[in-house]
Amino acid sequence: MIVVAGESLIDLVIDRDGDSSETAGGSPLNVAVGLGRLDIRVTLISQTGHDERGGLVVQHVTASDVEIVIAPTGSGRTSVATARLGADGGASYVFDLEWDLPREELPVCHALHVGSLGTLLEPGRASVLDLVEQACSREVFVSYDANLREAFIDDPHTTRRDVLALAQRCTLVKLSDEDAEVLGEDPDEFARTLTAGERTRLVLLTRGAGGATAFTSTDEVSVQPRSVEVVDTVGAGDAFMAATLAQLDDLGAFAHHPTHGLPLELDDLSRLLRGAMEVAAVTCERRGANPPRRSELPPGWPA
């Protein structure tokens, strides 16, 4: 089983015509939903309000075969992210977020995934970091997707320090070129820096339409995506992350100790990137964070 820990919220999406819609979202929630739809057993540890929107979050998660451990917000309200879509389908965000997750006991699992605002915002950040330490003490595979939001970064130098400190505790680290640029870093050089982490075996750098690169301490491999008719990019990075973890689970990587089957051979890394980009591409071809089920992917995925 994979445990995902982090924020859940409502995505209020306003399209180019000014029409709006509300769906459950938040990067960790999206990753958990993506894993559930790819037939991976997954539990989400998160937080919502005791309101109608909180009910929508729980309904969305459980409908994708995800178990959920939910803590109430102090205010009783569910957090909201307002996403405005641009002409190219990209989204800009404004957040009304509450994150004070209490300490949780890490369930028995093969892997833990954390990332985004849940690893950045206090006081809930401390509980997420505690889950990471519980996983490390058990030699459990840990993955981390930085997924930084500039609106929540007061001091890029402090955020960079925090990202590096968490990344070195994780087996797999994912970031986008935009994440690196928010920190004032060259994306490729920063990815290479992350490979030196104490436990880190693999770093994945996504570049949107420019594809993705996998970095190990000794190798690098890049893959270009197929042509995509973009509806919007909401949840695409989360779909990539979920597909990566699902493929590693299929390979039995989480059962190995201490390197968890990583790093992979170059051909395997290329296949891993192609499989993740295909799931992200399908998500981009749909409205909102709506990753595909395994049955909706091309036959033989991720070959």
Q: For 148-162, how does the pLDDT look when each residue is reduced to its tens digit (9 = 90+)?
A: 988 889 899 999 999
Residues 6+ positions from 78 with CB-CB distance below 8 Å: 8, 9, 10, 48, 49, 51, 53, 54, 56, 57
- For the chain, count helices (H), then strands (E): 8, 13
Strand partners, 176: 206
Q: How much is the average pLDDT of 46-64?
A: 95
**What size, in residues, is the chain?**
303
The pLDDT-based confidence of 244 (bands split at 50, 70, 90) is: very high
In a domain, residue 300? The reply is: no
Distances from the Cα of 14 to the Cαs of 89, 93, 231, in angstroms?
11, 10, 13
Question: Rounded CA gap, 92 and 36, in Å?
Answer: 27
The model's pLDDT over 167-192, given as tens digits with 9 standing for 90+, comes to: 999 999 999 999 999 999 999 999 99
Residue with tokens 């833990």: 112
In a domain, residue 284? The reply is: yes
- 54: which 2 tokens? 């909180």
Q: How confident is the model at residue 258, as a pLDDT?
A: 58
The pLDDT-based confidence of 13 (bands split at 50, 70, 90) is: confident
Q: How confident is the model at residue 53, as a pLDDT?
A: 93
In a domain, residue 297? The reply is: no
- 298: which 2 tokens? 């091309």
Q: How confident is the model at residue 259, as a pLDDT?
A: 67
Number of independent structural domains in the chain? 1
Q: How much is the average pLDDT of 111-134?
A: 96
In a domain, residue 254? The reply is: yes
Structural domain span for residue 209: 2-292
Contacts of the segment 228-232: beta carbons below 8 A, 24+ positions apart? 228/281, 228/284, 228/285, 229/285, 230/88, 230/89, 230/284, 230/285, 231/89, 231/284, 231/285, 231/286, 231/287, 232/13, 232/15, 232/85, 232/89, 232/90, 232/91, 232/284, 232/287, 232/288
What CATH number does the domain containing 206 carry? Answer: 3.40.1190.20
Which amino acid is present at 292? P
Which amino acid is present at 111? A
18 vs 229, residue with greater confidence: 229
Tell me if the pTM is above 0.85.
Answer: yes
In a domain, residue 130? The reply is: yes
In a domain, residue 301? The reply is: no
In a domain, residue 143? The reply is: yes
The model's pLDDT over 258-298, given as tens digits with 9 standing for 90+, comes to: 567 787 889 999 999 999 999 999 999 998 789 999 999 99
In a domain, residue 125? The reply is: yes
Q: How confident is the model at residue 18, as a pLDDT?
A: 80
